[in-house]
């Protein structure tokens, strides 16, 4: 996540979150190890993206709550 203080964060870089999560390496390994199964691989990519976005939403929500009490 961003190195800024909690009160100064206004957005999250989803590409940076994706890189930091290590999901790309896992998905690359999946592509190398499993031949075919494109619909399954695509669904796994979609789920991974949704999980990253959900994590970002939770981070922002917790920061917004934190700001209300400062």
Res 62 pLDDT > 60 = yes
Q: Assess if residue 21 is contained within a domain.
A: yes
The answer to whether position 39 is within a domain reads yes
Would 63 be classed as within a structural domain?
yes
User: Is the pLDDT reported for residue 66 higher than 70?
Assistant: no
**C-alpha distances in angstroms, 27 versus 3, 11, 19, 50?**
27, 26, 12, 14
Q: Is residue 23 part of a domain?
A: yes
How many Cβ atoms are within 10 Å of 48's Cβ, its own excluded? 17
42: containing domain = 14-68
Within-domain flag for 40: yes
Predicted TM-score (pTM) of the model is 0.68
Summarised one tens digit per residue, pLDDT across range 4-40 is: 454 566 678 888 888 888 999 999 999 999 889 999 9
17 token code pair: 């979150």
């Amino acid at each position: 996540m961003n190195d800024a203080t909690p009160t100064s964060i206004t957005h999250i870089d989803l590409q940076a979150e994706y890189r930091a999560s290590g999901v790309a390496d896992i998905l690359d390994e999946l592509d190398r190890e499993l031949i075919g199964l494109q619909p399954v691989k695509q669904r796994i990519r979609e789920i991974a993206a949704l999980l990253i976005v959900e994590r970002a939403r939770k981070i922002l929500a917790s920061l917004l709550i934190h700001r209300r009490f400062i």
